[in-house]
Amino acid sequence: MRLSLMLLITHGKRQRKLGGGKPQRLNILRRVVTGLVRHERIESTYAQCDEAKFYAERLIDYAKLGNTNAGAMRIADYWITEKDLIPKLFETLAPRFAEHDGRYCRLYRLPVTTQNTRDMAVLEYKGNPYPSLRPIPKNHPNSIANILVEGLRQDYEKKMEIDMKDQPAA
Amino acid sequence: MSRLKSLIVPSVRCIVHRRYCSTERVTNALVTEYRNDIFEEEKRRQQGMVRRLEKIEVVHVGPNDPGTFIMNKNLSTPYHCAMHISETYTKYSVLAMVNGEPWDMWRPLTEDCELSFVRFRDKHPEEANKSYWRSCALILGAVMETAFKDTIYVQLARALELPIIKGMFVYDVDLGLKDWTPTNENLRSLSLSAITMKSKDLPFERLEVDPSLALRLFQHNEYKQREVEERVRGGRVTLYRMGKFIDIHDGPMMSKSSLVSMFTVAGIHELPGGLYRVQAISLPHDFYLHSSVWNKLVKRASVPLVGDLSTAGVDESWRETKSSAA
């Protein structure tokens, strides 16, 4: 987002304008959040994904209260337009993030191509069953550079051990 | 050539009757020429022994680019096969694996075989790493032989094979000097000449010869003559040549000197027997280290490694003076 006077006034929490007004904005966000709960990884414009991320995470926070909580059920009923997903939210997603503390979503920008000039992004819940979008880094533990650094580390540990032995004697 | 012979012959005579001949000096440049002449002659003779071109079938079984090559028996090498696949194979392959055995890139193939190439970034590059480490020791030997003026006759004694985790490779040399401590400028210039060798992109040629020829080749070096007898495998000795430098080793060696990226001569110190032990460290072309880490590695490699020549090889008897002092 651009730096502006409004950003200063709202402590950096200024929202984007989506659609043509408040009801349209909420409809878009509900659609995106429902899609995210169903597929656990969705592709949309960066603006929609970025705005929906906040609501998708708050939805999990409410779902953690349990399906017996009236407030939680009301929020879930409002944000999930396809009602068959409500049990999934309470029984699959909420237990998955029981140990987590916020930040249940991941957001990746997609490259801009000649076919699609819009700024696209991928939004996903963590712990989904799909393969990772980022390449898994290779460590090359048997490479010469790593063996040399490993030798350096072993020397350092040996030195530290000797120092530790010397200290009590002194 | 005749002028060269006239230069060499007195020098040989000088070695034999060193006591009586004080005008002619043996220099490393002359000895190098002498060795190269013998090496070239023997190589030409061995290539001339292949009278009939026979074809062999070589199957490439690497992860990518499968294929079958029809190559010449006793002439084509894995490097030639790599040239048929793509340039990256010739540039970045360290070793070839022929029927699962490590094989030099410049060693002629003798029978129908399965071929694959090893790089430093493979999952299991142990063989490539070992060959890299001993090839770097060979480069170090070449540096030491060419670095000094003609007034100092350098005799290379022996390259000990150390595990990579020791962080250094060493070459023991006889400089004919006493109480010499190299300055930092000396070490830097030695490192620079190694880097020059790297940029020349020299292949590691391999030649199997008779022990008697190897003895004749190394007749100016008493240490190498002793080594020839130890290195006899099935009645043959393996020689390696990089540029103009010739050494004796079992191998296998890496493909080219351009696989080196960083090369630093870390330290030279005198051994009890009067030899000097040169310690250096190097890194292959594929890897990058931060300069602070590299400086720590160089500092570690400069710690003198003490040991006895008779117990050469990889074992635990090698101790660093630092740890023994502590």
Q: What is the pLDDT of residue A79?
A: 96
Residue B321 has pLDDT above 50, yes or no: no
Residue B326 has pLDDT above 70, yes or no: no
- Does B91 reside within a domain? yes
Q: Do B188 and B89 share a structural domain?
A: no
Q: How many residues does chain A have?
A: 170
What pLDDT digit, counting tens, does each position of B244-280 carry?
Answer: 999 999 879 999 999 999 999 999 999 888 889 999 9
Confidence category of residue B325, pLDDT binned at 50, 70, 90: very low
C-alpha distances in Å from residue B286, one per residue of A24, A34, B53: 54, 47, 38
Q: What is the pLDDT of residue A42?
A: 96
Q: Alpha helix (H) ranges present in B86-181? A: 87-92, 126-147
Number of domains in chain B: 2
- Torsion of Cα atoms, B181 then B184 then B269 then A162, to 10°: 130
Q: What is the pLDDT of residue B322?
A: 36
Mean pLDDT score, A81-98: 96
Q: What is the pLDDT of residue A118?
A: 86
Q: Do B179 and B73 share a structural domain?
A: no
C-alpha distances in Å from residue B218, one per residue of B29, B46, B213, B221, B245: 14, 20, 9, 5, 12
What pLDDT digit, counting tens, does each position of B6-16 carry?
Answer: 555 545 444 54
Q: What is the pLDDT of residue B6?
A: 55
Q: Do B136 and B113 share a structural domain?
A: no
DSSP B155: E
**DSSP code per residue over B161-181:** ---GGG--EEEEEE-S-SS--
DSSP B68: E
- Torsion of Cα atoms, A78 then A81 then A82 then A86, to 10°: -20
Q: Which of A143, A150, A155 sits opposite B287 (nearest CB)?
A: A143
- Pick the residue from chain A with its C-alpha nearest to B131: A144
- Does B115 reside within a domain? yes
Note whether B120 contacts A144, CB cutoff 8 Å. yes
Q: What is the pLDDT of residue B8?
A: 54
Q: Is A150 on the interface with B (CB under 8 A)?
A: yes
Q: Do B91 and B134 share a structural domain?
A: no
Chain A residues in contact with B325 (beta carbon < 8 A)? none
Q: What is the pLDDT of residue A169?
A: 59
Give the domain-ending residue among B98, B119, B140: B119
B221/chain A closest Cα distance in angstroms: 33
**Shortest CA distance to A119 belongs to which of A55, A50, A20?**
A50
What percent of chain B clears pLDDT 70, i.e. is strictly above it? 87
**pTM across the whole model:** 0.74
Q: What is the pLDDT of residue A117?
A: 82
Q: Which of B124, B132, B323 sits opposite A144 (nearest CB)?
A: B132
Mean pLDDT score, B19-30: 68
Q: Do B293 and B172 share a structural domain?
A: yes
- Does B248 reside within a domain? yes
Chain B residues in contact with A161 (beta carbon < 8 A)? none
Residue B291 has pLDDT above 80, yes or no: yes
- Does B318 reside within a domain? no
Q: Do B147 and B109 share a structural domain?
A: no
Question: Average per-residue pLDDT in chain B?
Answer: 86
Tell me the backbone φ, ψ of residue A82, rounded to 5 degrees: -100, 110
Burial class (CB in 10 A: 0-12, 13-18, 19+), B21: middle
Residue B141 has pLDDT above 80, yes or no: yes
Q: Do B188 and B80 share a structural domain?
A: no
Q: Is A156 on the interface with B (CB under 8 A)?
A: no
What pLDDT digit, counting tens, does each position of A29-53 carry?
Answer: 999 999 999 999 999 999 999 999 9
Confidence category of residue B21, pLDDT binned at 50, 70, 90: very low
Q: Residue B146 belongs to what domain range?
A: 130-305
Confidence category of residue B315, pLDDT binned at 50, 70, 90: very low
Domain A2-134 sits in which CATH superfamily?
A: Ribosomal protein L17 (3.90.1030.10)
ipTM score assigned to the predicted complex: 0.82
Residue B105 has pLDDT above 90, yes or no: yes
- Torsion of Cα atoms, B122 then B126 then B127 then B129, to 10°: 90
Give the domain-ending residue among B64, B89, B119: B119
Q: Do B282 and B137 share a structural domain?
A: yes
CATH number at residue B109: 3.10.20.30
Domain edges within chain A:
2-134, 135-170
For CA atoms A127, A128, A134, A138, the dihedral sign is positive
Confidence category of residue B313, pLDDT binned at 50, 70, 90: very low
Q: Do B218 and B101 share a structural domain?
A: no
CATH number at residue B168: 3.30.980.10
Question: Average per-residue pLDDT in chain A?
Answer: 90
Note whether B123 contacts A152, CB cutoff 8 Å. no
Q: Which of B125, B281, B323 sits opposite A143 (nearest CB)?
A: B125
State the Cα–Cα distance between residues A50 and A15, nearest whole angstrom. 10
Chain B residues in contact with A143 (beta carbon < 8 A)? 120-121, 125, 129, 286-287
Residue B22 has pLDDT above 60, yes or no: no
Q: What is the pLDDT of residue B320?
A: 41
Mean pLDDT score, A123-144: 91
Q: Do B153 and B106 share a structural domain?
A: no
